[in-house]
Amino acid sequence: MAPMDMEPKGQNGSAAGNGAHVGAAAAAPAAATSAAVAAAAAAAKTGGATGGSKKLIFFGPMAAAPPFDLEDLLRASAEVLGKGAFGTAYKAVMESGSAVAVKRLKDVDLPEPEFRERIAAIGAVQHELVVPLRAYYFSKDEKLLVYDYMSMGSLSALLHGNRASGRTPLDWETRSAIALAAARGVAHIHSTGPTASHGNIKSSNVLLTKNYEARVSDHGLPTLVGPSFSPTRVSGYRAPEVTDIRRVSQKADVYSFGVLLLELLTGKAPTHAVVNEEGLDLPRWVQSVVREEWTAEVFDQELLRYQNVEEEMVQLLQLAIDCSAQHPDRRPSMSEVAARIDEIRRSSLGDRPATDSAGEGEEPSL
């Protein structure tokens, strides 16, 4: 089977066809958007061009009793979820009905021992607020990562996917809860070692459960790419001191998280790079507005409908500015960030109207 690499159409792969078999997608024209997975399947069935394992390597509790094998995965139907700097993501639904997310990596040219060492460090991170890496497949030609499938998609899609007049706003309680959960998830990653970092914090890497609870995803992927990797664009989340995305410090993560907070507060997507006619990036634009004492102009118009949350919003804005300081030494640690968000939320709970938050077990108003 000749490898085919059909790019998904649309930012979120929305034009991708559904129901294409992972192991045979390249054979059917109607399934062309899943052909990339088919190429992976072809390589996996032969162990890659120069040999390799024909099985998935699992992490955590699944290692002792894998719930599925490579053949199950290759027979699954595939749907393109989206494409990022490190590869293309798919939703794979197996014959049993269970769904997983599969990321097909690109630009990974590490030697096998080094790749396995680095992927083991990623797989060792197990936390309720971090999307776990469940398994991986390695061959010379193909590298696949298997994660839990998050049914509600990403924070990016939720914030920016539909800004039409009929949209129901993402409420403040949900936004601040997402900020806290994401901060705790990143703080846990940092707690695993003095040099441990996420490396690619952005709203599309904050995924949501069916109850709109946030989970941090795709941590550690920059460590897997080789020296030849070159991102196609400069990310609006990247700290100014970062020149090599394979070496992102914890303080650089804090900067990226600060930009994420600003995105939650302003409703603006930092990846658009220029947010006004002066060509400022999101952190500098916010700082310029605050300096002019026009702080209210910063906030997303969708947030202005909520009462008794202004002080909380301003405090979170100040934290975001602290996180996105130009000099790394001036940024707080992620554990401090999580603690401050928690304190801000706790201090304001008594002031919030009951209509601003969803009851337990209910979906928040979006």
Residues 136 and 234 in one domain: no
Shared domain for 80 and 160, answered yes or no, is no
Domain containing residue 229: CATH number: 1.10.510.10
* Pair (185, 67) in one structural domain: no
333 and 230, same structural domain?
yes
Write down which residue in 94, 116, 148 finishes a domain: 148
End position of a domain, from candidates 100, 115, 148:
148
Is the pTM above the cut of 0.85?
A: no
Q: Is 103 annotated as a binding residue?
A: yes
Residue 252 lies in a domain: yes
Say yes or no: 138 and 266 in one domain: no
pLDDT value for 162: 72
**Is 231 a domain residue?**
yes
Is 208 buried (19+), middle (13-18) or exposed (0-12) by CB count in 10 A?
A: buried
Residues 270 and 286 sit within 8 Å (Cβ to Cβ): no
DSSP 309: -
Strands 87-93 and 77-84 come out as antiparallel
Q: At which residue do the structure tokens 């410090």 appear?
A: 249
| 334: three-class secondary structure by DSSP | helix
Which of 148, 182, 199 is at the close of a domain? Answer: 148
Is the Cβ–Cβ distance between 144 and 40 less than 8 Å?
A: yes
Cα torsion for 67, 111, 103, 195, to the nearest 10°?
90
Q: Are residues 96 and 227 in the same domain?
A: no
Residues 162 and 302 in one domain: yes
pLDDT tens track for 59-105? 988 887 889 999 999 899 999 998 888 899 999 999 999 999 999 99
Residue 366 covered by a domain = no
- Domain that residue 264 falls in: 155-356
Answer yes or no: is 42 within a domain: yes
C-alpha span between 144 and 164 (Å, rounded) = 36
Q: Could you give the CA distance from residue 182 to residue 163 in angstroms, rounded to a whole number?
A: 23
Please check whether residue 92 is in contact with residue 19, taking contact to mean a CB–CB distance below 8 angstroms. Answer: no
Residue 12 lies in a domain: no
Helices 334-348, 310-323: inter-axial angle, 10-degree rounding: 170
Tokens of 248: 């992102």
Residues 44 and 189 in one domain: no
Whole-number pLDDT of residue 268: 92
Domain count of the fold of the chain: 2
Strand partners, 79: 91
Residues of the chain falling short of pLDDT 70: 1-53, 163-168, 226-234, 271-279, 350-366
- Whether 95 maps to a domain, the answer reads yes
Q: What is the pLDDT of residues 173-205, one digit of tens each?
A: 999 999 999 999 999 999 999 999 999 999 999
Residues 332 and 203 in one domain: yes
317 & 173 share domain: yes
**Do residues 92 and 200 share a domain?**
no
324 and 208 within one domain: yes
